[in-house]
Amino acid sequence: MVSAPPAPKFVVENLSVQYPDGTESLRNVSLQIPPNAVTVLFGPAGGGKSTLLRTFNRLNDLVEGTRYLGKVLLDGENILSPKVDLVALRRRVGMVFAQPVPLPMTVRENMTYGLELAGESRRSKLVRSMEEGLRAAALWDEVKDRLDEPAGALSGGQQQRLCLARVLAMQPEVILMDEPTSGLDPISTAKVEDSLQTIKKKYTVVIVPHSVQQAGRLADWAGFFLQGELVEWGEGKNLFIAPKVKRTEDYVTGRFG
């Protein structure tokens, strides 16, 4: 007997996103994001990748007047509904940005601040989730003896992994990452990429990579975006090895973009 595939974490149906100045940054996009996998959204600048990422935790709402059309279901519930509790949504769907911005506190405090703010006061719980988060982000060995140093004293690559660890400590269900390694050297980049292999066992990961090469390395699933349109969607490395659409092929082989 073949077991049924797991239910998708996100189902996007006919999604269009319009910014208040009339820019239609996504047009009629439909796709499904599977759980416990790395989904890559890639394509040239301005294609709508960040807009889609920011739709998954409604960060686009920070631009007042942004309009959503269509549906985005998280575990079957439409997160575009006006009734959605945005604080609760963002707790379930965490975001790691391109520029790491640790809080001006120690490494330890960076790791416990969010949970404490959310009402957690048990020392043992805070210590455990700090260590788990740092281990999952492949940072523990480098900082375990520096927990009480300011986070700003870490290297750029370490700060980026700290920001990832901080999101993980909140135990979200989905991790969104927008070009998280764009400022990192190849060794730090490899560490972040490696950590994703561990992280995806427990979480749903959606990432905008900083290059086609990185997209190809990471993708369990991938979508190619061009000027607000989802041009092609595929499993594994298929999109990179044997794209079906000419525009995808041109992009992955470096003929444009």
Ligand X SMILES: Nc1ncnc2c1ncn2[C@@H]1O[C@H](COP(=O)(O)OP(=O)(O)OP(=O)(O)O)[C@@H](O)[C@H]1O
Question: In angstroms, what is the minimal distance from the CB of 71 to ligand X?
Answer: 19
And the tokens for 205?
Answer: 């990961």
- What is the dihedral angle through the alpha carbons of 92, 42, 54, 95, rounded to the nearest 10 degrees? 40
Size (the chain), residues: 257
- 53-78 as b/e: b if 16+ CB within 10 A: bbbbbbbbeeeeebebebebbbeeee
User: For ligand X, which is the closer residue by CB, 27 or 146?
Assistant: 27
Q: Which of ligand X, Mg ion, none does residue 47 bind to, with CB < 5 to 8 Å depending on kind?
A: ligand X
Question: In angstroms, what is the minimal distance from the CB of 54 to ligand X?
Answer: 8
Question: In angstroms, what is the minimal distance from the CB of 141 to ligand X?
Answer: 32
Question: In angstroms, what is the minimal distance from the CB of 117 to ligand X?
Answer: 27
User: For Mg ion, which is the closer residue by CB, 168 or 177?
Assistant: 177
Neighbours of 43 (CB within 10 A): 25
Are 10 and 36 in contact, with CB atoms under 8 Å apart?
no
Q: Which of ligand X, Mg ion, none does residue 64 bind to, with CB < 5 to 8 Å depending on kind?
A: none
User: For ligand X, which is the closer residue by CB, 27 or 90?
Assistant: 27
Question: In angstroms, what is the minimal distance from the CB of 125 to ligand X?
Answer: 36
Amino acid type, 73 = L
42-81 positions binding Mg ion, by CB under 5 A = 50
User: For ligand X, which is the closer residue by CB, 78 or 182?
Assistant: 182
Whole-angstrom Cα distance, residue 82 to residue 253? 42
194-223 positions binding Mg ion, by CB under 5 A = none
Whole-angstrom Cα distance, residue 26 to residue 4? 31
Whole-angstrom Cα distance, residue 21 to residue 64? 11
Q: Which of ligand X, Mg ion, none does residue 51 bind to, with CB < 5 to 8 Å depending on kind?
A: ligand X
User: For ligand X, which is the closer residue by CB, 48 or 114?
Assistant: 48
User: For Mg ion, which is the closer residue by CB, 12 or 111?
Assistant: 12
Are 60 and 53 in contact, with CB atoms under 8 Å apart?
no
User: For ligand X, which is the closer residue by CB, 21 or 141?
Assistant: 21
Whole-angstrom Cα distance, residue 222 to residue 242? 13
Question: In angstroms, what is the minimal distance from the CB of 81 to ligand X?
Answer: 22
Whole-angstrom Cα distance, residue 175 to residue 6? 18
Q: Which of Mg ion, ligand X, none does residue 257 bind to, with CB < 5 to 8 Å depending on kind?
A: none
- Applying CB under 6 A, the residues found at the interface with ligand X are 19, 21, 23, 25, 45-51, 63
Are 21 and 202 in contact, with CB atoms under 8 Å apart?
no
Question: In angstroms, what is the minimal distance from the CB of 199 to Mg ion?
Answer: 21
Whole-angstrom Cα distance, residue 234 to residue 224? 9
By CB under 5 A, name the binding residues for Mg ion.
Answer: 50
